């Protein structure tokens, strides 16, 4: 049974049983506390928690998920994958335990001919929470499962909660027994791989408080509505139904594994270590494909960092399999073909996906080459010293260059060098501890969304600001210091919920409105407007006059100048996006934006920097569109209708069934957008592109000033040009050539000065050699040179001095002040190195005294610092080292 067939059977079964089929949400989670959608229930949390009224009594979905907390287990166990699909059915105050259990058992055990999954009831075991006699009774009495195949377990495995005060409840899990060939008898309680969990039923029954841990909390009482959240692991069921041993061998994953094995010249099943690497490749390629399809691109932070880590683990695994060149152009198309039945977007978006993935591979292969040079140098030093490779070096390679410790160990082992794994492990643990502390701190900063539950229950906030800047409304709720309040007094910062508002809440890249909220006897300055939960608009205000009370009449007043600037910027973003696509082609797709009054920032998919001519062309097309005074038309329609007329949906954005389409010049710019816009393009005023930069291997960013701010910037540049023409006494059109001439003259003068200074230093060689001293086993020149032009001058002098020693054991240690920064250069002859003296060690020692760092090769090294006054003590420390 193919994975896509299992998926269809799930959705058809629950649709026949009255569930609304909900499409999978994006892997990029709406929950601010989560980077990714990590479980099938995540998109339904607002409904399950009661924060937002559920739009349907029961629902079903097959949700895409990403989870990387067990990334080190990928490939080693049958069921750990970073990307997985969770089949879920949900009840929001409708059916409860008996219904959920009956539905699960019915789908699992009904025949394949009848649309079921065809599991033999004799192969299924069940666990329940040890105190949940109701669930045990249903399994035993209604389903007819023998009591010996129903096992009671504790809170640590069979009780669900978010880890925060709120809804919680017992769980019941269904396991498949793979038979004695896979482990010992005894049921799921043995925690053995023989028993594979395929379905988890969560009975949200209670409200909990005083949460100390997963097993330590207080049950406050029963929830007003008892909910059901169940999930079946699609990959787990697939590998059982397909008769393979693990999720890496199912039809959606195995083709990538086989292609990787072919590229590496390996036979899957012949070697355990190679098998693990092949599974890692297959899993991570699929995860990368799905993440990029949902708009995530590689970067050094957040979601992009997780994606980058996955892709680099593929590259490194392929290298450990013996493949050093690029493999993504071979592997990603195979994964696309395996996944497109369930997810057609991977085929539609493949040009974007492949561009992002292939560019990341090219970049990392270059990084890998430089990292191997560092490792080879470290291995060479360890061989010469007959020591282990330092643990901090292994950590640096891991942390900075993305080398897993396995790669470092393998290369070191080939050279006959051991690695100090204890220090490496210690540094890794320190990094994990810092990450956990940071995550805990960030978690503590997040607002508890439960405070909005009652407010959202009063209804959806109506936004009236598309057609008006003022609106009379009523105060529905107040939040002060994170808790609901009956009033907010003068001087307090409060969150204000109204029945309707004309103030725009930050969304779709557009910053929130500025303005006031006024009423009888009070006035409040609007600091921010957000949508903390779907359908609820919350105004953060500072009460400047009087006291705001519940149910008071309140008028929202948008700052008209700010709104005008914001609409100019947002419409300007659409214009620049269309101009980019005109110049660069349809693959230049917006991947992020931010706009506020007078300013816009647009990120777009493109690998190469834009030339000055290209930037000018984009700017000119944008301003020609403004001059053309195109009509800006907004329409509401169904999402499918919007897509059918070519409206552009942007990566990473979430859209409901009804969408707002914004046209500028008809189809020239047609995008889905919920922001505020001008009524004609001429109202934008002016576009002034002020910068273009890289924000990743496949993403560029343009920034522009808009409207009056664009004019002011041009006026400021005009004033600068006027000052230059006056000071240089040349016409405006000759300013550039005059500045170029002056720059060339300055560079020539600097070159002459540098040559003179180098000559002066070279003339000091005889005097410095005359002062050479016997220090320990070597003869050394140790000297402070005072002020010098650059570190290169000191290095050149050190090399000349080293030549004077010939075959003698000689050491040079020179230091100087280069433009206020102390520099120390050390050099050694071959005889000195044979005596155990290394330039890198001496430079590092001296740099430490200077308040900086340094090092290098045994024959030549450099260090620096921050305090030139410490040059003499630094040289004295080097002398003491040589004496020792």
Q: DSSP readout, 705-716? A: EETHHHHHHHHH
Evaluate whether 44 touches 90 at the Cβ level (below 8 Å).
yes
Evaluate whether 129 touches 170 at the Cβ level (below 8 Å).
yes
- In whole angstroms, what is the distance from residue 618 CA to residue 701 CA? 13
Average pLDDT over residues 75-102: 91
**What is the predicted pLDDT for the residue at 446?**
39
Average pLDDT over residues 283-289: 96
Assess whether pLDDT exceeds 50 at residue 299.
yes
Assess whether pLDDT exceeds 90 at residue 416.
no
pLDDT tens-digit series, residues 522-574: 999 999 999 988 889 999 999 999 999 999 999 999 999 999 999 999 999 99
pLDDT tens-digit series, residues 332-364: 999 999 999 989 989 988 988 998 899 899 988
Q: Which residues pair with 744 in a beta bridge?
A: none
Percentage of residues of the chain with pLDDT beyond 70: 96
**What is the predicted pLDDT for the residue at 521?**
92
Q: Which residues pair with 828 in a beta bridge?
A: 811
What does the block give as tokens for 705? Answer: 């000033």
Q: How confident is the model at residue 407 (pLDDT cuts 50, 70, 90)?
A: confident
What does the block give as tokens for 375? Answer: 């490792």
854-856 sheet: strands from edge to edge: 773-775, 778-788, 810-818, 821-828, 860-864, 854-856
- In whole angstroms, what is the distance from residue 827 CA to residue 878 CA? 12
Q: Which stretch of 91-95, 148-152, 495-499, 760-764 has the lowest confidence by average pLDDT?
A: 760-764
Q: Which residues pair with 517 in a beta bridge?
A: 524, 556
What does the block give as tokens for 286? Answer: 């699929």
Q: What is the mean pLDDT of the chain?
A: 90
Q: Give the count of beta carbons closer than 10 Å to the beta carbon of residue 831.
A: 16
Q: Which stretch of 417-421, 489-493, 833-837 has the lowest confidence by average pLDDT?
A: 417-421
- Residues spanned by CATH 3.10.310.40 within the chain? 758-883
**What is the predicted pLDDT for the residue at 410?**
73
Q: Could you tell me how far CA 202 lies from the centroid of its own chain? A: 30
Q: Which range, 391-405, 445-459, 737-751, has the best average confidence (pLDDT)?
A: 737-751
Q: Give the count of beta carbons closer than 10 Å to the beta carbon of residue 216.
A: 9
Give the phi and the psi of residue 21 in degrees, each rounded to 5.
-80, 120
**What is the predicted pLDDT for the residue at 445?**
39
* DSSP 8-state code for residue 18: T
Evaluate whether 700 touches 610 at the Cβ level (below 8 Å).
yes
Q: Give the count of beta carbons closer than 10 Å to the beta carbon of residue 542.
A: 15
* DSSP E strand boundaries for 695-775: 699-706, 773-775
Assess whether pLDDT exceeds 60 at residue 116.
yes
**What is the predicted pLDDT for the residue at 366?**
83
Task: Compare 810 and 380 and report the one with higher pLDDT.
Answer: 810
Average pLDDT over residues 668-686: 95
- In whole angstroms, what is the distance from residue 720 CA to residue 763 CA? 46
What does the block give as tokens for 704? Answer: 């522009």
Annotated binding residues, as ranges? 570, 574, 673, 677
**What is the predicted pLDDT for the residue at 122?**
95
Q: How confident is the model at residue 784 (pLDDT cuts 50, 70, 90)?
A: very high
What does the block give as tokens for 78? Answer: 């049958």
**What is the predicted pLDDT for the residue at 435?**
61
Burial (Cβ within 10 Å: 0-12, 13-18, ≥19) of residue 300: exposed
- Comparing CA positions, the residue from 36, 94, 40 lying closest to residue 62 is 40
The secondary structure of 338-353 as a DSSP string is HHTTT-THHHHTHHHH
- Comparing CA positions, the residue from 484, 507, 504, 510 lying closest to residue 496 is 484
User: What CATH superfamily classification does 3-244 receive?
Assistant: Bira Bifunctional Protein; Domain 2 (3.30.930.10)
Average pLDDT over residues 358-372: 83
pLDDT tens-digit series, residues 466-484: 999 999 999 999 999 988 8
What does the block give as tokens for 475? Answer: 């105060």
Q: How confident is the model at residue 437 (pLDDT cuts 50, 70, 90)?
A: low
Rounded alpha-carbon distances, angstroms, from residue 599 to 558, 614, 695, 829: 19, 21, 18, 60
Give the phi and the psi of residue 389 in degrees, each rounded to 5.
-70, 130
- In whole angstroms, what is the distance from residue 303 CA to residue 299 CA? 8
**What is the predicted pLDDT for the residue at 379?**
83
CATH of 563-709, one of 3.40.50.1950, 3.40.50.720, 3.30.980.10, 3.30.390.50: 3.30.980.10
**What is the predicted pLDDT for the residue at 402?**
65
The helix (run of H) or strand (run of E) holding residue 525 is strand 522-533
Q: Could you tell me how far CA 446 lies from the centroid of its own chain? A: 18
Q: Which distant-in-sequence residues (6+ apart) come within 8 Å of 63 by Cβ?
A: 24, 25, 37, 39, 40, 42, 43, 85, 86, 88
CATH of 758-883, one of 3.40.50.620, 3.10.20.80, 3.10.310.40, 3.40.605.10: 3.10.310.40
- In whole angstroms, what is the distance from residue 448 CA to residue 166 CA? 11
Task: Compare 59 and 443 and report the one with higher pLDDT.
Answer: 59
- Count Cβ neighbours within 10 Å for each residue of 250-274 and write b for 16 or more, e otherwise: bbbbbbbbebbbebbebebeeeeeb
- Comparing CA positions, the residue from 333, 397, 388 lying closest to residue 368 is 397
The helix (run of H) or strand (run of E) holding residue 107 is helix 97-109
- In whole angstroms, what is the distance from residue 293 CA to residue 26 CA? 9
Evaluate whether 873 touches 849 at the Cβ level (below 8 Å).
yes
**What is the predicted pLDDT for the residue at 444?**
40
- In whole angstroms, what is the distance from residue 798 CA to residue 762 CA? 10
**What is the predicted pLDDT for the residue at 443?**
42
- Residues spanned by CATH 2.40.30.130 within the chain? 449-558
Evaluate whether 701 touches 603 at the Cβ level (below 8 Å).
yes
Assess whether pLDDT exceeds 90 at residue 753.
no
Evaluate whether 539 touches 501 at the Cβ level (below 8 Å).
yes
pLDDT tens-digit series, residues 639-649: 889 988 988 87
Q: Which distant-in-sequence residues (6+ apart) come within 8 Å of 868 by Cβ?
A: 817, 820, 821, 822
**What is the predicted pLDDT for the residue at 442?**
42
Sign of CA dihedral 271, 277, 280, 286: negative
- In whole angstroms, what is the distance from residue 642 CA to residue 670 CA? 9
Task: Compare 213 and 563 and report the one with higher pLDDT.
Answer: 563
- Count Cβ neighbours within 10 Å for each residue of 136-163 and write b for 16 or more, e otherwise: bebbbeebebeeebbbebebebbbbbee
- In whole angstroms, what is the distance from residue 18 CA to residue 657 CA? 20
Annotated binding residues for Zn(2+), as ranges? 570, 574, 673, 677
**What is the predicted pLDDT for the residue at 94?**
95
Evaluate whether 143 touches 101 at the Cβ level (below 8 Å).
yes
Burial (Cβ within 10 Å: 0-12, 13-18, ≥19) of residue 40: buried
pLDDT tens-digit series, residues 383-403: 877 788 888 888 888 777 666
**What is the predicted pLDDT for the residue at 436?**
58
- In whole angstroms, what is the distance from residue 863 CA to residue 815 CA? 9
Place of tokens 């046209």: 663
- Comparing CA positions, the residue from 306, 300, 350 lying closest to residue 328 is 350
**What is the predicted pLDDT for the residue at 741?**
93
Q: Which distant-in-sequence residues (6+ apart) come within 8 Å of 514 by Cβ?
A: 526, 558, 559, 562
Give the phi and the psi of residue 246 in degrees, each rounded to 5.
-160, 170
CATH of 449-558, one of 2.40.30.130, 2.60.320.10, 3.40.640.10, 3.40.309.10: 2.40.30.130
Residues present in the chain in total: 884
- In whole angstroms, what is the distance from residue 676 CA to residue 662 CA? 10
Query: pTM score > 0.85 for this model?
Result: no
């Amino acid at each position: 049974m193919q994975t896509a067939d299992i998926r269809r059977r799930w959705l058809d079964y629950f649709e026949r049983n009255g569930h609304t089929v909900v499409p999978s949400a994006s892997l990029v989670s709406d929950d601010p506390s989560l980077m990714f959608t990590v479980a099938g229930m995540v998109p339904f949390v607002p409904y399950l928690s009661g924060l937002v009224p559920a739009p349907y009594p029961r629902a079903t979905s097959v949700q895409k998920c990403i989870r990387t907390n067990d990334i080190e287990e990928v490939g080693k166990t049958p069921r750990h994958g970073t990307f997985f699909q969770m089949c879920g059915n949900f009840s929001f105050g409708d059916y409860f335990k008996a219904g959920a259990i009956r539905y699960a058992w019915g789908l699992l055990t009904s025949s394949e001919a009848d649309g079921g999954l065809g599991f033999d009831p004799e192969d299924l075991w069940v666990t329940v929470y040890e105190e949940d006699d109701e669930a045990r009774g249903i399994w035993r009495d209604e389903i007819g499962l023998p009591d010996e195949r129903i096992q009671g377990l504790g809170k640590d495995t069979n009780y669900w909660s978010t880890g925060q005060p709120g809804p919680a409840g017992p769980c019941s899990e269904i396991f498949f027994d793979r038979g004695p060939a896979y482990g010992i008898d005894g049921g799921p309680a043995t925690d053995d791989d023989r028993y594979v969990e395929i379905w988890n039923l969560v009975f949200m029954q209670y409200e909990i408080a005083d949460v100390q841990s997963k097993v330590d909390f207080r049950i406050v009482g029963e929830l007003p509505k008892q909910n059901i959240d169940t999930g079946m692991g699609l990959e787990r069921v697939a590998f059982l139904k397909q008769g393979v041993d693990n999720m890496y061998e199912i039809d959606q994953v195995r083709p990538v594994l086989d292609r990787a094995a072919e590229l590496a010249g390996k036979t899957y099943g012949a070697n355990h270590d190679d098998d693990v690497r092949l599974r890692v490749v297959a899993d991570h390629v699929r995860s990368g494909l799905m993440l990029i399809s949902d708009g995530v691109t590689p970067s050094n932070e957040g979601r992009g960092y997780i994606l980058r880590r996955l892709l680099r683990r593929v590259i490194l695994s392929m290298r450990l399999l013996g493949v050093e060149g690029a493999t993504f152009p071979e592997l990603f198309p195979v994964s696309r073909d395996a996944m497109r039945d369930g997810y057609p977007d991977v085929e539609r978006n493949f040009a974007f996906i492949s561009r992002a993935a292939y560019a990341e591979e090219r970049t990392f292969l270059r990084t890998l080459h430089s990292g191997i040079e560092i490792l080879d140098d470290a291995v060479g030093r360890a061989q010469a010293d007959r020591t282990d490779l330092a643990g901090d070096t292994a950590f640096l390679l891991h942390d900075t260059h993305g080398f897993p410790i396995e790669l470092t160990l393998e290369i070191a082992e080939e050279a006959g060098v051991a690695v100090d794994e204890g220090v490496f492990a210690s540094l890794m643990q320190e990094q994990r501890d810092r990450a956990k502390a940071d995550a805990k701190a960030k978690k503590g900063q997040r607002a508890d969304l439960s405070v909005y539950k009652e407010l959202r229950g009063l209804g959806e906030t109506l936004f009236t600001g598309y057609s008006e800047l003022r609106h009379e409304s009523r105060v529905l709720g107040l939040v002060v210091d994170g808790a609901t309040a009956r009033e907010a007094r003068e001087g307090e910062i409060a969150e204000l919920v109204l029945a309707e508002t004309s103030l725009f809440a930050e969304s779709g890249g557009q910053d929130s409105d500025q303005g006031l909220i006024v009423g009888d006897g009070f006035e409040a300055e609007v600091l921010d407007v957000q949508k903390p939960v779907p359908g609820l608009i919350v105004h953060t205000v500072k009460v400047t006059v009087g006291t705001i009370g519940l149910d008071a009449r309140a008028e929202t007043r948008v700052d008209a100048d700010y709104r005008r600037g914001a609409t100019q910027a947002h419409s300007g973003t659409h214009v620049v996006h269309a101009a980019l696509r005109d110049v660069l082609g349809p693959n230049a797709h917006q991947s992020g934006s931010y706009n506020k009054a007078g300013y816009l920032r647009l990120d777009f998919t493109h690998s190469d920097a834009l030339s000055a001519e290209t930037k000018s062309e984009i700017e000119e097309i944008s301003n020609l569109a403004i001059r053309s005074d195109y009509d800006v038309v907004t329409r509401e329609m169904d999402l499918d209708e919007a897509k059918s007329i070519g409206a552009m949906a942007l990566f990473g954005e979430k859209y409901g069934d009804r969408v707002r389409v914004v046209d500028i010049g008809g189809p020239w710019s047609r995008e889905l957008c919920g922001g505020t816009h001008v009524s004609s393009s001429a109202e934008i005023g002016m576009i002034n592109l002020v910068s273009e930069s890289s924000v990743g291997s496949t993403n560029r960013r343009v920034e522009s000033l808009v409207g009056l701010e664009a004019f002011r910037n041009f006026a400021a540049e005009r004033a600068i040009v006027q000052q230059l023409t006056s000071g240089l006494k040349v016409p405006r059109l000759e300013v550039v050539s005059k500045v170029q001439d002056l720059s060339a003259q300055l560079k020539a003068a600097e070159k002459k000065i540098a040559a003179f200074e180098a000559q002066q230093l070279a003339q000091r060689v005889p005097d410095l050699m005359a002062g050479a001293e016997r220090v320990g086993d070597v003869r050394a020149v140790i000297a402070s040179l005072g002020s010098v032009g650059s570190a290169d001058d000191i290095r050149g002098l050190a090399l000349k001095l080293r030549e004077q020693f010939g075959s003698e054991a000689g050491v040079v240690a020179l230091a100087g002040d280069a433009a206020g920064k102390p520099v120390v250069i050390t050099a050694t002859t071959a005889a000195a190195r044979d005596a155990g003296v290394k330039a890198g060690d001496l430079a590092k020692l001296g740099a430490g005294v200077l308040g900086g760092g340094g090092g290098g090769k045994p024959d030549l090294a450099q260090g620096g610092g921050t305090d030139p006054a410490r040059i003499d003590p630094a040289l004295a420390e080097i002398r003491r080292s040589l004496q020792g």
